[in-house]
Amino acid sequence: MIMEFKYKICLCMFLLLVGEGFGQLSSNFYDSRCPGAVSTIKRMIKAAVAKEPRMGASLLRLHFHDCFVNGCDASILLDDNANFTGEKTALPNVNSARGFDVIDDIKSELENICPATVSCADILTVAARDSVVALGGPSWNVKLGRRDSVTANLEGANTDLPGPFLDLSQLVTAFASKGFTASEMVTLSGAHTIGKVQCFLFRDRIYNEKNINPAYAAVLKVNCPATGGDTNLASLDVTTPDKFDNAYYTNLIGLKGILHSDQVLFPADLSSTSHQVFTYSVLSFKFFSDFAAAMVKMGNLSVLTGNDGQIRTNCRIVN
Q: Are residues 156 and 179 in the same domain?
A: no
Q: Tell me which residue range forms the domain holding 283.
A: 168-297
140 is a domain residue: yes
Q: Are residues 153 and 210 in the same domain?
A: no
Q: Are residues 271 and 146 in the same domain?
A: no
Q: Are residues 55 and 134 in the same domain?
A: yes
Q: Which of 161, 177, 198 is the last residue of a domain?
A: 161
For residue 85, what are the contacts with CB-CB under 8 A and spacing of at least 6? 152, 154
**One of 63, 65, 192, 260 is an active-site residue; which one?**
65
Structural domains in the chain (count): 2
Number of C-beta neighbours around residue 66 at 10 A: 29
Q: Which of 129, 161, 193 is the last residue of a domain?
A: 161
Whether 189 and 265 have beta carbons less than 8 Å apart is answered as yes
Cα–Cα distance for residue pair 1/11, rounded to 1 Å: 15
The pairs formed by 280-283 with CB atoms below 8 angstroms and a separation of 24 or more are 280/186, 280/187, 280/190, 280/246, 280/249, 281/246, 281/249, 281/250, 281/252, 281/253, 283/246
249 is a domain residue: yes
Q: Are residues 113 and 184 in the same domain?
A: no
82 is a domain residue: yes
Q: Are residues 126 and 198 in the same domain?
A: no
Instruction: Spell out the per-residue pLDDT of the chain, length 319, in tens.
Output: 444 434 444 444 433 344 444 468 999 999 999 999 999 999 999 999 999 999 999 999 999 999 999 999 999 999 999 999 999 999 999 999 999 999 999 999 999 999 999 999 999 999 999 999 999 999 999 999 999 999 999 999 999 999 999 999 999 999 999 999 999 999 999 999 999 999 999 999 999 999 999 999 999 999 999 999 999 999 999 999 999 999 999 999 999 999 999 999 999 887 789 999 999 999 999 999 999 999 999 999 999 999 999 999 999 999 9
Q: Are residues 87 and 197 in the same domain?
A: no
311 is a domain residue: no
Q: Is 65 a catalytic residue?
A: yes
Q: Are residues 284 and 185 in the same domain?
A: yes
pLDDT of residue 19: 41
Q: Are residues 174 and 155 in the same domain?
A: no
The pairs formed by 186-189 with CB atoms below 8 angstroms and a separation of 24 or more are 186/265, 186/273, 186/276, 186/277, 186/280, 187/276, 187/280, 187/287, 187/290, 187/291, 187/294, 188/64, 188/291, 188/294, 188/295, 188/298, 189/248, 189/261, 189/262, 189/265
pLDDT of residue 23: 63
> Taking the model in full, what pTM does it have?
0.92
267 is a domain residue: yes
11 is a domain residue: no
DSSP bridge partners of 148 = 310
22 is a domain residue: no
Residue 155 sits in a domain whose CATH number is: 1.10.520.10
Q: Are residues 76 and 154 in the same domain?
A: yes
Q: Are residues 175 and 237 in the same domain?
A: yes
